[in-house]
Each structure stands twice: as structure tokens, then as C-alpha cells.
Amino acid sequence: MDLYQTLGVSRDADAAAIKRAYRKLAKTNHPDLNPGNKAAEERFKTISSAYELLSDPAKRARYDAGEIDDQGEERRPQQSYSSHAEGPAGSRYRSSDGPDFSDIFADYFRTGGEAGGADPFGRRAQRNPRGQDRSYSLDVDFLDSIIGATRKLTLPDGKTIEVKIPAGINEGQVLRLKGQGGPPGREGAPAGDALIEVHIRPHPLYRRDGDNIALDLPVTLSEAVLGAKISVPTPHGTVAMTIPGGSDTGTKLRLRGRGVPAHAGKPAGDAYVTVKVVLNPADVELAKFLRDREPDGFDPRTKLQEHV
Amino acid sequence: MTREDLLSALPGLQAERLDLWVARAWVRPDEGTSFAEIDVARVRLLVSLQDELEIETESVPVVLSLLDQLYEARRQLRLVRRAIDEATTADLRAAIAHEMQRLANERERG
């Protein structure tokens, strides 16, 4: 029987509350006030012994701690936490960031030995003898990122590995090289992987837009007005492109299939050429011609007026 | 032991506190309800940490983490001890003991 329930008080009731509860119950169940009532007499006994125990702070503390029972009798002493924690059950409360002694004994286990097991101290090694993955970073030229390339990467330990850069790789993309990472935790287990984060160096001409390439094409005024056939550089070599007459700064022309080549099931991207008219500052003849010319009434700023 | 058994074995423990400890994973009974002996012992430890040593609730995780690390270290050391017992002869153990003493003295002298 729970002594707190007997007195009808909560477990954290203070001494005064326990006393009040006892007095109230004692009054209603007192044998002298209930002559011949056996049940009341029993209740009175129970209430009294509960109060006797709970009103004594030392006994109450021992009762709370489960050291004595509701009769005040000693209970079987409990084993300390440490006796459990140091046994096999203790691993239930293994701390995830706890001590890792694998470094101290690492050389004992590296050779494999007869048991051939993983380092028993290594928290990870036991479950996963595979070597650790190692991360590296590799800067790649823009053109290599478009058409693909093979590059050598020298690791901090002096080892050189070949990295195959697939066509159309994106900035920040990570290449996983199987088995090029850390050595395995146990002989016969696989090595870790090398994870190579690719960074693309910007190009002075080209910009990347998904699988498309964009570039600005400077043209003279007469090429823009009259049209022309112009050699345009692309990542795949120079292409002869026809600029139609009447092209302007900002006119966008497309070179189909001249962007990122087809890869991973995706069709080849295109190259977008943006025309940029560049005046020859030394062209005095043009200035002279324009000065003598009748105004034609064309106003390129009508749109601006609408928004004023 | 069920939650109810545990509460009646520890009359000083309010159910809300026990539930909070389980919710915070300070105590990790199986399926959240079945308390093994070590869980019960840990609950007693928590009661005495908080009620007797008056450790603030915010500080309990730090104390538990350090304790768990300490016991992990002690379990590891017992493992070393067992391995030495099983892999060596009495002669060799005496040599190890001697060497440990020598190293300890050396360290004390600085």
C-alpha cells in the first residue's frame, strides 16, 4: 500500500499537509468515535502507521528511496548504479561521444593478428571495418567541366590519383572514387572512398547556364546593320555563324548543340550568342556621315516615357 | 519492471519526473516502458543526484554524459584486464604489474 495514497496526499506534500491529512482522516475513523466499527478501526490503524512513518523525516526519506517498505521493514538493498554500469548492461548507456581508445591500441590491431578482428576500442571500427571516406577539393578548368577530362590529383600523403571528370559536371558536384579513401579498419575489408568536390574556374568568355553556354559576341556597327558571317569560338572549336542584318546589342542567336555535349541521357545543350555592338571610337567618317544625315524621327526611348 | 512497479518501489518519485527523464532519454527503458535493473538503478541515481546532491535539472545532462564516459572507460579497462588475464601467464602478469609500477613512479617523479 502506498502510504501517500493512504493519507490522500501527493508525493511531494510537505510535513504540514501530511499532518492536516492525517488529522482529518483520524477524526472520521477514530475507534472511540466509531464504537463496534471494525472497518473503521482497521483504517485508523493503517492511517496511524502511515503517518508515523511519513511524519518522521528520516524514515520518510528512506521510504521514498525504497529502502524500507510501508511497514518500515528493510527492503532488499539495491545494487548501486556502478555495479550495473560496469557490467555488460552498461553499454545501454554508452555515450555516443564517449572515450575512444582506438588510437591508443591501434597498432595492436592493424596487423590483424590471429584473431583478425577489428580494434575492439574503435567505436566505429567494430561495426564498420571499412576505411573512412576522405574529402578533397579539385579545381577544374571551365572547358574541362564542359567537355570532360582526366586530371591528376595529388593527395596529402603523396599518392596521386586519376580523376575522371565527366562532361557537363556542375560546380560543387562531388565525385566518389571507390577505394581511394582511408585504409580499412581490418585486413580484407574495403578501403574508404575519396570524395572529390569539384570547383569550376570561371572562363573569361563563357558562362554556364544549365547545359547551355552563353557568350557575348562583339560586332561592328556595319556587321550588325548589314549582317555578316563571323567566326565564333565555342568550347568545341570555332564555328562560322551568320549574323542576320538588323541585329542589335542584346540580340540572342543560338548555335544548336554547341553547349554541354550529350551526357547521362540528356541531349546536348546549345550555345547562346548575345550580340554586342561595339563602335570604333576612331571612326571619324561615321561621325561625319551621321552629322550630315537628316533625322529619321526614330525614338528608342518611347518605352521609358511610359514609365515616367 | 513496469513504470507502475518502479513508481511504487520508489515512493519519493513523482510520475511526471520519471516520464520527463524517459522523454529526455536520461533513462532508456526498453520500448520506453520496460525497466531493466540498470534502468531502475539509474532512476535511483537520478533521484539522488537531484534530491540529495541538489544538482540543477539543466546540469543533469552534463553530469550524465561525464558519468557515461567514465563508465565506458571503466568497461574498456575491464576488457583490457580480461584480455591480459586470458592471454598471459602469471609470470608475464607480474612483469606487467612491475612495469606499470615503474612507469607510475617515473611519472610521479616527473
For residue A139, what is the domain's CATH number? Answer: 2.60.260.20
pLDDT of residue A124: 44
Which chain A residue's Cα is nearest to B65? Answer: A95
**pLDDT at residue B110 above 80?**
no
Q: What is the ipTM of this complex?
A: 0.72
CATH of the domain at A25: 1.10.287.110
Task: Tell me phi and psi for residue B25, to 5 degrees.
Answer: 65, 20
pLDDT of residue B8: 85
pLDDT tens-digit map of A197-210:
899 999 999 999 98
Q: Give the minimum alpha-carbon distance from B60 to chain A in angstroms, rounded to a whole number.
A: 14
Residue A183 lies in a domain: yes
Nearest to B37 among A65, A89, A95 (CB): A89
pLDDT of residue B40: 92
Inform me whether the C-beta atom of residue A95 falls under 8 Å from chain B C-beta atoms.
yes
Contacts of B48 in chain A (CB under 8 A): 65
Do the Cβ atoms of A192 and A170 come closer than 8 Å? no
CB contact under 8 A, B10 and A64: yes
Q: How many domains does chain A have?
A: 3
**Beta-bridge partners for A209:** A212
The contacts of residue A142 (CB under 8 Å, 6+ apart) are A200, A201, A202, A203, A206, A208
Q: Which residue has the higher pLDDT, B89 or A264?
A: B89
User: Given pLDDT bands bounded at 50, 70 and 90, which one contains residue A225?
Assistant: very high
Task: Tell me phi and psi for residue B94, to 5 degrees.
Answer: -65, -40
**pLDDT at residue A60 above 80?**
yes
Contacts of A91 in chain B (CB under 8 A): 75
CB contact under 8 A, A99 and B40: no
Q: Do A195 and A226 belong together in one domain? A: no
* Pairs of residues, one from chain A and one from chain B, whose beta carbons lie less than 8 Å apart: 92
Residue A96 lies in a domain: no
Residue A194 lies in a domain: yes
Residue A122 lies in a domain: no
Q: Which domain range does residue A245 map to? A: 206-292
Q: Which residue has the higher pLDDT, B53 or A1?
A: B53
pLDDT of residue A122: 58
User: Given pLDDT bands bounded at 50, 70 and 90, which one contains residue A213?
Assistant: very high
Inform me whether the C-beta atom of residue A80 falls under 8 Å from chain B C-beta atoms.
yes
User: Given pLDDT bands bounded at 50, 70 and 90, which one contains residue B32?
Assistant: confident
**pLDDT at residue A38 above 90?**
no
User: Given pLDDT bands bounded at 50, 70 and 90, which one contains residue A125?
Assistant: very low
Q: Do B61 and B108 belong together in one domain? A: yes
Please classify residue A166 by burial: count the beta carbons closer than 10 Å to its beta carbon, then call 0-12 exposed, 13-18 middle and 19+ buried. Answer: middle
Residue A195 lies in a domain: yes
pLDDT of residue A199: 92
Q: Do A219 and A268 belong together in one domain? A: yes
Q: Which residue has the higher pLDDT, A74 or A243?
A: A243
The mean pLDDT value for B18-37 works out to 90
Q: Which domain range does residue B101 map to? A: 56-110
Percentage of chain B surpassing pLDDT 70?
99
AA identity, residue B52: E
| Helix, coil or strand: residue A135 | strand
Percentage of chain A surpassing pLDDT 70?
89
Run of H or E residues at B103? helix B90-109
Q: Do A179 and A222 belong together in one domain? A: no
CB contact under 8 A, B11 and A90: no
Inform me whether the C-beta atom of residue A89 falls under 8 Å from chain B C-beta atoms.
yes
Looking at A41-50, A93-102, B80-89, which range is the least confident one? A93-102
Q: Do B49 and B61 belong together in one domain? A: no
Residue A95 lies in a domain: no
Taking all residues of chain A, what is their mean pLDDT, rounded to a whole number?
85
Inform me whether the C-beta atom of residue B33 falls under 8 Å from chain A C-beta atoms.
no
Q: Distance (Å, rounded) from C-alpha A291 to C-alpha A284?
A: 11
Q: Do B50 and B60 belong together in one domain? A: no
Q: Do A155 and A218 belong together in one domain? A: no
Nearest to A81 among B41, B78, B79 (CB): B41
Q: Do B36 and B75 belong together in one domain? A: no
Contacts of B78 in chain A (CB under 8 A): 86
AA identity, residue A105: F
pLDDT of residue A193: 86
Domain stops at, among A19, A38, A64: A64
**pLDDT at residue B42 above 60?**
yes
**pLDDT at residue A98 above 70?**
no
Which chain A residue's Cα is nearest to B29? Answer: A92
Domain stops at, among A200, A224, A256: A200
Nearest to A4 among B9, B11, B39 (CB): B11
User: Given pLDDT bands bounded at 50, 70 and 90, which one contains residue A215?
Assistant: very high
Q: How many domains does chain B have?
A: 2
Do the Cβ atoms of A106 and A117 come closer than 8 Å? no
Query: What one-character DSSP code corresponds to residue A181?
Result: S
Contacts of B8 in chain A (CB under 8 A): 2
User: Given pLDDT bands bounded at 50, 70 and 90, which one contains residue B77?
Assistant: confident
Looking at A21-30, A226-235, A252-261, which range is the least confident one? A21-30
Q: Do B73 and B43 belong together in one domain? A: no
Paired sense of beta strands A206-209 and A194-200, if any: unpaired
Q: Do B77 and B95 belong together in one domain? A: yes
Contacts of A85 in chain B (CB under 8 A): 38, 41, 67, 71, 74-75
